[in-house]
Structure 1
Amino acid sequence: MSLKSHITNVFKMHGLAIRSDGAKYLCELLEPLPKDEHEEWIEKVVEAVQKLPINSTMISKDAIHKAAQDVSASENDDMENLLQIIDIFKVPKLMYHIERRKFMLAPTVARNLHGDAPDKATLFRDRYTMVYQRTCNHELFRRPAVGANEDKRFGLMKVEFLLGSSSRQDDVVVLGLLTQLVEGQHHLEDDTGAVTLNLTNSKFHTGLFTQNCFVLVEGWYEDGVLHANAVGLPPPETPNSTRALLGNVNYFGGQGNVCAKNVLKLQQAEQENQESMFVVMSDVWLDKIKVMEKLRTLFTGYAQFPPTAFIFCGNFLSACHGSQQAADVRQALSALGDLIAEFPDLQTNSKFIFVPGPSDPGPSNIFPRPPLPKYVTDGIRRKVSNAEFVSNPCRLLYCTQEIVIFRENIVAKMCRNCVYFPNNSDDIPAHFAKTMICQAHLAPLPLHVLPVYWGLDHCLALHPTPDLIITADKGDAFTTVQNQCIVMNPYLQPSGQPNWR
């Protein structure tokens, strides 16, 4: 088979049709390269084409030229800075493409901070679509192939089908949003309608079932009411499966146009830097003398072996200082800068990352929240060149490792808004982690409990599941693993005093 025919077939396998001049142009680019590398480069060009804002599946020569430039640029990315701090407001958005039956990167457009009314509906619709498609891809819900063994599988029903039924429906399984459209009465809502939900005799599986989270309900329907026998969270999708479906695209954000997991140079760098460390602290009260003393001890201990980064999560003051809050935080951070300057090796070789807390200066606590204002940080910036002030939540990419940091008392809020609280309350971290991973979102809560900018809700999405989620919650420490993801919380004593040991 000729190279041109092979290129045409590869594009067809991805649901695309390449024009003759485009295939000929790509052949000219590939001919100088070794034949054993042709397949790899063709796949990279296809992935780059899928990221372009094209309106048709017919690919022109100009689109191939632009995709080839993007692939070339991604291969020449600077590898010296292995730690990328990603601007959360520039994180790519994934949207489900009905024709291609896969999630794809949405075109990059300027998004208003305060969205319009349709943006609120889009917020819930996008959340539902993401969870629904993940559930449909699960082996228990996936349609069997022709001639395959008929194992026990479940079929998802839409609310619209139930509402149109005049007779009793048994063995019903519905995926929907758990909500209260009428006070005191639960409903299950999807993209086709809402049905009254009876939870009287239902059995809940593991997880924190909060208002406005998506649940799988198994039961029977009669007279306009869905009677639940069992309620569970939608199944998670393994990160490798999600990435395979997405293709080699940069869904996480940061430099480059391809997924960092597939960059050989980053994989090699990760193997060479297995001793790298991140030091994470939450509620670093810089106005407390004891905290500053313990920070000096901490820096002294790491002075000879600088970690990759120190991550400081707010609040940065032990109490609210009213109108003096911004000035006091500025002074406290400047004092921290003086302390860091006493350790030149740390100052040179480590990053100092600051994540704002709920009481720190800045706009209202609507997420995603921007970094601390420049007025507050300019003092420490002059003293510590490696100081980085990030948004909340924020994303870090170290080699191929995807890290998400969220400073919010999210565990307590989810527990307070539970429809059903687990019996084994000693294992709340596992319930919490499972809920967050299965919902593919940092904040599966009503918007009045945890406000989110409607047009920027995708910044809090967890699809695919990252490698590490740090929830700097004002509670006890925990570390748990769910769906190949480590979910952790830095330690705080019950009194709220940091444990500086």
Structure 2
Amino acid sequence: MNGIMRNKVQRKFKMRGYTLKVEALTEILSFLSRFQDAEDEALDLLLDELQHQSLKSSILDKEPVHRVVSLLLEAEAAAVEEGPHSSDTSRSALRIIDVFDIPKFQYDHVKKIFYEHKGGLPIHGDASAKATLYRDRFLLLLQRLSRDPHFARLAFDTDISQFGSCEISQIQSLVGCTGRRWVMGVISQFEDGHFYLEDLTAAVEINLSNAISFAL
């Protein structure tokens, strides 16, 4: 496979926040060689599936890439074997899974990795469980948004959008800053009746008098 595809693979993985080792890049190129006329679609599918994996680091070696490639090839083989008109009546359409058998993963926003929670999970939470729930949910959304190409940190060989750099900034970092900044937060209404946009670092008052509401 030519150097153009090699550079494209490295660029797309860098936009998602990944760094590839040599053996991982070789595994990806071998996978893409199976799809001569659809390399871009296969690469996007590989990246999307990789985001659902529990990764120890953003620096990828062969093992996690090979695991995802194997899953995709098995799914392709199963689809070809079944065919478009086949119907497997023996396969159950309903699968029951015990909630306590599902592994729980937590996101470390400092190391930017997921790790499996090994401790026991009580049925009833304590007083801080609700706050922890919303905090974990916010961090999950933030890391997912940060991996999006439009909000990822710019690399030297990537194109800048019409809005410039869209990297997410913390609200606390807005103090003393000028110009346009992109932030992510939740809208809260405190006791004084005013609305605020807040993240895990700070809160800033916002004016919603000209906001547009959409009926769902």
TM-score (norm 2): 0.50
Q: Name the one with the larger strand percent.
A: 1
Q: Which has the larger radius of gyration?
A: 1
